[in-house]
Structure 1
């Protein structure tokens, strides 16, 4: 269970979910028709040495029939496309909130004068930096890790790392919002708005309500008899307290908002999900993929 001020490494609590996501990105990348290519993800899984995910990477047959790696491919491509579109429009600052084991600073073809800020817990960024250094990886942008908790004064840490609030910025909150308590969730959007001059952009994935999120996290175990995250009950890491509706909040504060469901996004990428139980299908329609421009 969560508590105020709790922290984690890459192999426990919220950090373990980031490791799981890296595993699913690695699995999607190994497919012959993969939507994304993340050659860094398997490095992180191997270095962490967490039994469930190393076993899953070696043999993913237990996930057969569960569209989890494919879902992660769709999610990853959505945010990849968001950043590439922002860069093409002239945005030269990117902020990845709760960056986890995201390797976009290394994977994407950024314009040469782009700065990518990665915000996350100190232990997570320390692990990530060590693995990348061991593999002598070189980023394709000016990558700047910002070790700070998103429940704390992260704007100050971001500006201390060189962020310029007078220039347009592209923000991503990928797989993040349920892990924030309501006060930090709402403060996140207020701070994004304050730090975003006209021309800035934001991309998020967001469930319509906390009960939907709880139901969604239980679906793989309920219908397929297995939990992609092993013994970790991800729902225990979520906050279900009251919070603002992100698309509505952004619209009210002058952002132009567009959204899609998971099924619409899968169709867009020509990656339709397999036939799913009715409840699972219904929940997939309740996950909003949102982009907004100020």
Structure 2
């Protein structure tokens, strides 16, 4: 009698947000005019069991995840074009950039996330025979703990300029935790390092249109816990110079996608999801 194949547990809690993002990327992969290639998003989302039937707000959020993915892809490509060959994805989730982007030779990419999510992802990737296009290291760690020590133990070189991607994380952490995270990241960043991150401002966090979506996330232990109203000033306090502070509506227009109502400044006023790039002088 054949023994059933053992698999790592499916993502739960805040890790369920990674499934929602993977589903959005999988849907984008099916479009003829897709903004990026991600053939692994579908298998990863399917193995995770998917998400409940999306509400209208969730569908608009999926549109944001797609535009956000393209933004971070472009920032990573720009960093590599500038000569950076060390990349760190904090809260990598079910991200597949190491497998789908044609990164330059010599690129070393580190993915950090919770141990149970890393185990699940590695299991699915192995079963699908996925092969990274660069040197890839998965680092299982809780970002509220000594993640810097785990990263350096995995081979990260603090003396080498680094491209940092912080996508889909900061809203779910209290702001003091974000300060500690950015502080630790800054200590590991050699001059010439680059950073791309996402956050929201206070007005966006309070939007009535987002209340139902936030309640839905809270049921999965993924409540929104923070906001930042001046990303450039916040980054400057940690030794970074913002080179771009933009938002979802601007990036959507840049890549030729319609702006969902919950991100349209004409409808939401000053509410913003920030997409920010910065450099370490």
TM-score by length of 2: 0.86
What are the ranges of 5 or more consecutive residues in structure 2 without an aligned counterpart?
A: 1-8
- Per-residue CA deviations over 1:123-150 (Å, capped at 9, x if unaligned) read 1000100110001110011110111100
CA contact (8 A) 1:262 1:285 kept: no
Does the alignment pair 1:184 with 2:170? no
Tell me the residue number matched to 2:142: 149
Cα distance in 1 for partners of 2:271, 2:174 equals: 24
Cα distance in 1 for partners of 2:205, 2:36 equals: 25
Classify the secondary structure of the residue corresponding to 2:156: coil
Does the alignment pair 1:272 with 2:264? no
Does the alignment pair 1:167 with 2:152? no
CA contact (8 A) 1:202 1:292 kept: yes
1:213 to 205, 223, 226: 205
CA contact (8 A) 1:151 1:184 kept: yes
Classify the secondary structure of the residue corresponding to 1:116: strand
Q: Relative to 1, partners in 2 of residues 1:164 and 1:67: Cα closer, same or farther, differing over 3 Å?
A: same
Q: Relative to 1, partners in 2 of residues 1:241 and 1:208: Cα closer, same or farther, differing over 3 Å?
A: closer
Q: Aligned-pair distance for 1:182?
A: 2.7
Does the alignment pair 1:42 with 2:34? no
Q: Aligned-pair distance for 1:32?
A: 1.8
Q: Aligned-pair distance for 1:280?
A: 8.4
What are the ranges of 5 or more consecutive residues in structure 1 without an aligned counterpart?
A: 1-8, 222-226
Classify the secondary structure of the residue corresponding to 1:149: coil
Pairing 1:15-54 to 2, within 5 Å after superposition = 15-50=15-50, 52=52
Tell me the residue number matched to 2:189: 196
Tell me the residue number matched to 1:247: 232
Q: Relative to 1, partners in 2 of residues 1:234 and 1:201: Cα closer, same or farther, differing over 3 Å?
A: farther
Q: Aligned-pair distance for 1:239?
A: 5.0
Q: Aligned-pair distance for 1:194?
A: 0.8
- Per-residue CA deviations over 1:152-209 (Å, capped at 9, x if unaligned) read 0100000000000000001111010022223321111111111111110000111122
Cα distance in 2 for partners of 1:115, 1:283 equals: 41
Q: Aligned-pair distance for 1:252?
A: 3.4
Superposed CA RMSD in Å reads 3.0
Tell me the residue number matched to 2:274: 288
Does the alignment pair 1:138 with 2:131? yes
